[in-house]
Structure 1
Amino acid sequence: MRDGVPELAPGIPAGYLKKEQRLASAGLLPAPPASGSAAAAFDAQMHARAATLRGTPRWHLAIRDASLHPDKLTGVFACPVGVAITRKDTPRLYQLLQRVAVDTGLSTEDTKHRYKAIRPFVAYGETNCTPDEDEELRADGSYPSGHTALGWGMALALATVDPDSAQSVLARGRAFGESRMICNVHWQSDIIAGRFMASATIALLHAVPEFREDIAIARDELAAARQRSAKPDEDCEVQAKALAIGLPGAQ
């Protein structure tokens, strides 16, 4: 771990960017799809397609992806890189991904507050994959997807750390965002906007010396973990079978 990193919350390190350095997503993103538009119709179509996956292994993976617990977040990418990404085994990489998740996740906040878009499970009077979070999700804007932003941001950072695993890492990062559609808490347009803000934020992070230094250290740390055979603590076979169940038309 890098010493001296302040905490955003207990056990959660602050991001690399100060508040005044963050991008204003409301000035970068268009408004969410208007009622009656072609984009809104596509959102509805994707909602119907995602609904067919409820109760399948892909639905259960989406429930797993809903957790923002630090260990669960870094564990998302253990199978793609073939190494356990933990506070103990890969401390700098673990911290790097947590800080990136904070920066990319927060990049969506001003747009969420501006539009307060209704989530699909609310619009259709349905349930979602984490009903215990129902009240919290109802009060939080749907557009753009913060989960998608932090998942895609982590994938982009990890692909930089480990280019040889980029294909599988990015595929898992994309699936992480699609899990939010399958969970019935986000629209396709939310997912696309979340990925945009993650990409924009990662581009900004590459100008931060501390981020670049951590990328280099994490690269060496990952190589050392592979030599120690620090295997993933996820069931990669079960995960692969779930991911093989695609979401037709997802963008």
Structure 2
Amino acid sequence: MRNISPFKMALVLVLGLTSNVMAEDAKPFSDSHEINLLTLLPPPPANGSEQMQKELAEVLTIQVTRTPAMEERAKADAVEDIWRFSDVINNPNFTKEKLPKFSAFFDRIVATEGAITDPAKEAWKRPRPHLYSDLVKPVVKLSSSGAYPSGHTTVGTLMGIVLAEMVPEKRPEIMTRAWEYGFNRLVAGIHFMSDIEAGRISGTVIAQTIRPHPDYQAEFEAARAELRSALELPADAK
């Protein structure tokens, strides 16, 4: 076995640690200063309003009709990452290990959602269904953060739009999956329907807004090329 100098070993460790930090602290492509959801979205239904009661009834109806399979799907979709689209991409090369550029790019996509939706959630402070009514029993980890708009739905919509631009051959399947990803927050009992609708709007607006950014374009093209090569797809597909 070849000897490795202490300096080189230290360098390897530092690079490894840096890679982990970058994955956890990815830089957003935008933030709430550029995309202010407080001016884009209508406010959520007021507590005690007729609309709020209708949405609560919808959550409770799903709660008593959801199947174990629906619950398991909703639990799995509680994770916010691009790999939840593995079922529609359906390729053994669609993994973090084989797609480092693609993975790092979508880390930034996920970070972008938080940078934009978190301030709006904090400002509106809409209660989650289980905090509004003790009749609601979510099947995912409880959260006390603002419910509106749904961050999961926002990022699922955003990821779906971007992924569909990389693999337009599967655009219908990808966008259907993105819509299901958001709807599963209702199935899980952790969001109201208007949270999800607002998340779909937010994800779409974010996708359109960040597309012209030079850093986004450069990283998108690198990630797209890596993905299409791994999936053995033509480089120039429209």
Instruction: Give the deviation of 1:128 after TM superposition.
Output: 1.4
Residue 132 (structure 2) pairs with residue 127 (structure 1)? no
Runs of 4+ in 1 over 4 A off after TM superposition: 6-10, 18-21, 35-38
1:9 CA drift (Å): 5.9
SS of the aligned residue for 1:217 comes to helix
Count of residue correspondences: 215
After alignment, is 160-169 or 35-44 more displaced? 35-44
Aligned to 1:235: none
Whether the 8 Å CA contact 1:16–1:103 is kept in 2: the answer is yes
Where do residues 197-208 of structure 1 align in structure 2 (5 Å cutoff)?
197-208=202-213
After the TM superposition, which residues 231-242 of structure 1 pair with which residues of structure 2 at under 5 Å, given as runs?
none
Contact 2:59 2:189 in 1 (8 A): yes
C-alpha deviations, 1:194-239, integer Å up to 9, x for none?
11111111111111122122222222222221239xxxxxxxxxxx
Amino acid across the alignment from 1:129: V
More relative contact order in 1 or in 2 (CA 8 Å, sep 6+)? 1
Q: Which runs of 5+ in 1 are unaligned?
A: 229-251
**Alignment-derived partner of residue 108 in structure 1:** 117
Whole-angstrom CA distance in 1 between matches of 2:27 and 2:168: 23
Alignment-derived partner of residue 248 in structure 1: none
2:191 aligned residue = 186
* Aligned positions of 1:133-172 closer than 5 A: 133-134=141-142, 137-138=143-144, 140-172=145-177
Q: Give the AA of the match of 2:60.
A: A
Letter in 1 for 2:117: T
In structure 2, the CA distance between the partners of 1:117 and 1:20, relative to structure 1 (3 Å rule), is: closer
Cα contact 2:32–2:119 (8 A) shared by 1:
no
Q: 1:28 to 1:43 in 2, by over 3 A?
A: same
Larger Rg: 2
Higher mean displacement: 7-16 or 180-189: 7-16
**8 Å CA contact retained: 2:94, 2:231:** no
TM-aligned CA deviation for residue 109 of structure 1: 1.5
1:131-169 Cα offsets, whole Å, 9 max, x none, are xx43xx12x111111111111111111011111111111
Residue equivalent to 2:62: 50
RMSD over aligned Cα, in angstroms? 2.5
**Structure 2 gaps, min length 5:** 1-14, 234-238
Structure 1 window deviating more from structure 2 (202-211 vs 17-26): it is: 17-26
Taking a change above 3 Å as real, the CA distance of residues 20 and 119 of structure 1, as seen in their structure-2 partners, is closer
- Counterparts in 2 of 1:204 and 1:141: CA distance versus 1, 3 Å: same
Instruction: Report the Cα distance in structure 1 between the residues aligned to 2:30 and 2:20, rounded to whole angstroms.
Output: 11
- After TM superposition, the structure 1 = structure 2 runs for residues 4-23 of structure 1, keeping only pairs within 5 Å, are 11-19=23-31, 21-23=33-35
TM-score normalised by the chain length of structure 2: 0.80
Secondary structure at the counterpart of residue 108 of structure 1: helix
Preserved contact between residue 28 and residue 115 of structure 2 (Cα < 8 Å): no
Structure 2 Cα separation of the partners of residues 51 and 80 of structure 1 = 27
Match of 2:83 among 72, 75, 89: 75
Cα distance change of structure 1 residues 122 and 9 upon mapping to structure 2, 3 Å threshold:
farther
Q: Is the CA contact 1:53–1:182 (under 8 Å) kept in the aligned structure 2?
A: no
Percent identity, aligned pairs only, is 24
CA-CA distance at 1:8 after TM superposition? 10
SS at match of 1:114: helix
Q: Which moved more, 1:200-209 or 1:16-25?
A: 16-25
Tell me which amino acid in the other structure corresponds to 1:128.
P
3-state SS of the aligned residue for 1:128? Answer: coil
